[in-house]
């Protein structure tokens, strides 16, 4: 079984590398359009859309798609458009608990399996100075919710659930999905 990661995310590559070294990367051309979906539905829909698009080009492979979404209540926070949008999102999350959903979709031999992991994350109360330094670093601009738990800034007070889910790929769930497919060495 040849495994393809349908993502160009360096974080997902690194996390999948903790499970197996036997994979290649093929970024998906899937267009993300949320349109009124819940955070759970968005993560699932986008993960499966990415996997299906790559699988359509590589039908003899096993394809793993993933997507991470941050939600504060019913408000879904994707990737920020720019620095000001990142500041807005960080201010919204400051001092509050939110959810991070990562959808994963595995397609092999025309069969799909998917899972959506959920982690609750509580932020410290963030100062304007910290928000400004973080945004100026450029790190939040390519991440859902405008932050990366692994970025080295003191944003997160505590989490309930999977750390790797918040980074962008729930490793334990993906390992189980691959084992169930009987493919890659896990």
Residues constituting the chain: 186
Tokens read off for 105 = 């979709």
Q: If 0-12 CB within 10 Å is exposed, 13-18 middle and 19+ buried, where does residue 136 land?
A: exposed
Residue 4: per-residue pLDDT: 98
- Mean pLDDT value of segment 147-161: 96
Residue 181: per-residue pLDDT: 77
The bridge status of strand 97-108 relative to strand 75-77 is: unpaired
pTM exceeds cut of 0.85:
yes
Is residue 185 very low, low, confident or very high in pLDDT (cuts 50, 70, 90)? very low
SS3 content of the chain, % helix, strand, coil (to 5): 40, 25, 35
pLDDT, tens digit (0-9, with 9 covering 90-100), for 50-92: 999 999 999 999 999 999 999 999 999 989 999 999 999 999 9
Give the Cα separation of 108 and 79 in Å (integer): 29
- Mean pLDDT value of segment 44-55: 96
Rounded percentage of the chain residues whose pLDDT exceeds 70:
96
- Mean pLDDT value of segment 129-133: 98
Give the Cα separation of 66 and 42 in Å (integer): 11
Give the Cα separation of 57 and 177 in Å (integer): 22
- Mean pLDDT value of segment 153-168: 97
- Catalytic positions, written as ranges: 67
pLDDT, tens digit (0-9, with 9 covering 90-100), for 89-115: 999 999 999 999 999 999 999 999 999
CB 155 within 8 A of CB 89: no
Structural domains present in the chain:
3-181 (3.90.950.10)
Residue 1: per-residue pLDDT: 67
DSSP for residue 120: E
Residue 32: per-residue pLDDT: 85
């Amino acid at each position: 079984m040849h495994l393809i990661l349908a993502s160009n995310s360096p974080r997902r590559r690194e996390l999948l590398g903790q499970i197996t070294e036997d994979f290649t990367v093929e970024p998906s051309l899937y267009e993300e359009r949320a349109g009124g979906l819940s955070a759970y539905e968005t993560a699932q829909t986008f993960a499966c859309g990415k996997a299906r698009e790559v699988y359509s080009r590589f039908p003899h492979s096993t394809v793993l798609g993933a997507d991470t979404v941050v939600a504060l209540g019913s408000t879904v926070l994707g990737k920020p458009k720019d620095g000001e949008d990142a500041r807005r999102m960080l201010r919204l999350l400051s001092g509050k608990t939110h959810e991070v959903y990562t959808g994963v979709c595995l397609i092999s031999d025309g069969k799909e399996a998917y899972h959506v992991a959920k982690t609750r994350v509580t932020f410290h109360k963030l100062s304007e100075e910290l928000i400004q330094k973080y945004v100026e670093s450029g790190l939040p601009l390519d991440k859902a919710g405008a932050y990366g738990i692994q970025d080295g800034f003191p944003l997160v007070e505590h989490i309930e659930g999977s750390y790797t889910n918040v980074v962008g790929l729930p490793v334990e769930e993906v390992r189980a999905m691959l084992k169930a497919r009987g493919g890659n060495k896990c």
